[in-house]
Amino acid sequence: MSATAGTLQHPLPGLLPLQGGGPQAAPHADALADPPARLPPPARLPEGADRLGDWLRGVIRRRPGHARALLRQAQACAEACVALAPCDEADLSQRLVAAREAVRCDPLAARGRLVEAFAVVGEAAFRALGLRPYPVQFMGALALHHGWLAEMATGEGKTLTVSLAAVLAAWSGRPCHVVTANDYLAERDAQHMRPLYERCGVTVAAVFAGLEHPSRPERYDSDVVYLTAKELLADHLRDQLAARSGADPGRLALRRWLGVPVPQRMSVLLVRGLHTAIVDEADNVLIDEAVTPLILSAPRESLGLTAAVRVVSALADAVVVGRDYELLPRQRTVNIGQGGRRALAALASALPAVWRSEPRREELLRQALTVRHFIRRDHQYLVDDGKIVLLDEFTGRMTPGRTLTAGLHQAVEAREGLEVTDPSESLGQMSFQSFFRRFPRLAGTSGTAREARGELWRIYGLGVLPVPTHRPRLARMEPVRVFETAECKWTAVVELVESLHREGHPVLVGVRSVQASQQVADRLQARGLPFWLLNAVRHAQEADIVAHAGEPGRITVATNMAGRGTDISLAPGVAQSGGLQVVIAEANESGRIDRQLAGRCGRQGDPGRVWTLLSLEDGLPERFLWPAARATLSTMMRSGAGARGQAMAARSLRLAQWRAEADAFARRRSVLKNDDWLDQALPFEGGGGLAA
């Protein structure tokens, strides 16, 4: 596991923020009240015979009859919404107040007026946003309201669907957090949906990375808060740490009452606690990102580390793979051999005394070699203003403030010739699985959840409910083309893009890394083709680039930043000429991420095509396909095996993807077992993986 990518440096070591707690949290930080209740630790996963019973309950929960019943109810909501069109503003306001009161008294059934409540919110959406929900959007909102994971195809309007359910969750009087895939979507969706929330008497805010600490409590005090899972969990951990240090709301309120000054930065973060979470792109948040726990940390001085890391980094350039050490690509680590140990022993006298022992110096060399082979610049990190900034593999975005643990971050800094920072000391940690299993109410949406329905039920108790599309999907998938070498693949990608550009199609080229996006950009520029580049380095114009990506002849090269939650609207006439053309130039380790990118075209019945061009030298087959299998496929391609060879290569790459997904599942299980162990071992309630 790249177990270190979730580490977050604590911004205020020594001054820990306050614990916000759970559903009974006081509404304001300065209220003299009992401290808010913590989220209880989640129940242990069923095992043995209980696991069979749990599996059967999941099968029953996913029966098609549930979807048919919700669709009938959704159609009733749509009809009732249309019937409200003649109402004047005063009448609609009265209906909104009545619906809000019904939901407040009976959050789930709204005193038998649930259809009416959704209908009046749907009419408010039409008047505030110009969007009248389709029956399938009402169906998705009903599924969220009842605690399902609604599988809605890309382009079906999940943003509005989530907002409909969030309004009713806010009307219940409990805090509602809408968890998005990245900060851009959190800010965008909160801003776009603000008119609807305000029309319904609901306050809304967004919390994102870089938001100053004093501003957070006010935003968390809103009825609906949009943010990422990392921001929410990090602030929850900060609050838990503060509670353990005695800085709870009751004590702070008493200090204020006594006239004792309280530093502003000690004010509560999660003001209203945690109760309802609606997770957008749920498979990304609950499955993909759950591979790595989030660790809250603070810098800790380590004597001699800087000198030791620099000495061993120089040695890592001198040792030879195969002779001194062995690569383990699938595990992304190395085994130090006898040659490497002898080289370390000869170098021991140059190391600071504390780092001369054999286990410690071997670990330094293992980290340095891991950085050279598996943690690459413009793939896993960038150098920005003299600092290492990690990249999120699933979103393609920078994650400032997060660091690698176990000394890897210092190894990267030494490799890049930067100032070596102090390592981090863990203050607390929790996995996303453990965190989201604690919510009293959990629901979500995704376009690619069906493949993970078993894990979503077993870990989170979420049943996946498929929602039909509003219009038939017309996008066409072209056969996968596999090339022997990366050079041949990139040449074919550029030739395909040039051909589609000449025909006047808008083209979206999807790659995995900043380096690959720049490589495509350089080749397009060499051919004189105009293009727009979207990656972690060039993210400032993201909204503008996405807004124009559907124009005729437009070429957009993007990392996974354009993969989730991105709505590419087609310019007039583009649909008639064939729609958006999506070119997948690198396969991700999860097939669901590839399908998210493919879903950028063919939205709401628009036409489109998806082209997939891969090579045997891509990262996925190099790491997860057996060397003998790669050699056989290379031989077949050189001999011109034709369609049969292409089909076999495509199946082999899918096998490599399946192995990658199996490895990720095993890592998630390991993280979850570690959480269970911490919950049992730590001597305080609700530990949830906090460091002792």
Q: What is the 3-state secondary structure (H, E, C) of 588-644?
A: CCCHHHHHHHHCCCCHHHCCEEEEEEEECCCHHHHHHCCHHHHHHHHHHHHCCCHHH
DSSP letters of 275-304? -EEEETTHHIIIIIGGGS-EEEEEE---TT
> Out of 95-99, 117-121, 300-304, 414-418, which region has the weakest mean confidence (pLDDT)?
300-304
Beta bridge partners of 66: none
Note the CATH number of domain 476-615: 3.40.50.300
**pLDDT tens across 273-320, in order?**
899 999 998 988 899 888 778 888 777 777 788 888 999 999 999 999
| Three-state SS at 417 | coil
Q: How many residues does the chain have?
A: 692
Q: Which two structure tokens, joined as six digits, stand for 516?
A: 């690959």
| pLDDT greater at residue 118 or residue 242 | 118
Range 179-199 average pLDDT:
93
Q: What is the mean pLDDT of the chain?
A: 84
Banded pLDDT at 557 (limits 50, 70, 90): very high
Q: Compute the CA torsion angle 160, 512, 475, 539 (nearest 10 deg).
A: 50
Q: Is the pLDDT of residue 111 over 70?
A: yes
Note the CATH number of domain 301-422: 3.90.1440.10
**pLDDT tens across 605-625, in order?**
889 999 999 999 998 898 898
Banded pLDDT at 29 (limits 50, 70, 90): very low
Same fold, 7-294+432-466 and 476-615: yes
Q: Which CATH fold would you assign to the domain 7-294+432-466?
A: Rossmann fold (3.40.50)
Q: What is the pLDDT of residue 468?
A: 93
| pLDDT greater at residue 445 or residue 352 | 445
Q: What is the pLDDT of residue 113?
A: 94
> Out of 503-507, 557-561, 617-621, which region has the weakest mean confidence (pLDDT)?
557-561
Q: What is the pLDDT of residue 442?
A: 96
Q: Where are the beta strands (DSSP E) in 385-515?
A: 387-390, 402-403, 424-430, 441-446, 464-466, 476-477, 481-483, 507-510
Banded pLDDT at 465 (limits 50, 70, 90): very high
Q: Is the pLDDT of residue 265 over 90?
A: no
- Count CA within 13 A, CB hemisphere, residue 622: 14
| Three-state SS at 381 | strand
Q: What is the pLDDT of residue 679?
A: 66
Q: What is the pLDDT of residue 252?
A: 63
Single pTM value for the model: 0.81
Q: Is the pLDDT of residue 564 over 70?
A: no
DSSP letters of 93-122? HHHHHHHHHHHHHSTTTGGGTHHHHHHHHH
Range 387-406 average pLDDT:
77
Banded pLDDT at 248 (limits 50, 70, 90): low
Delimit the domains of the chain by residue range: 7-294+432-466, 301-422, 476-615
CB atoms within 10 A of CB 555: 24
Q: What is the pLDDT of residue 5?
A: 39
CB atoms within 10 A of CB 336: 19
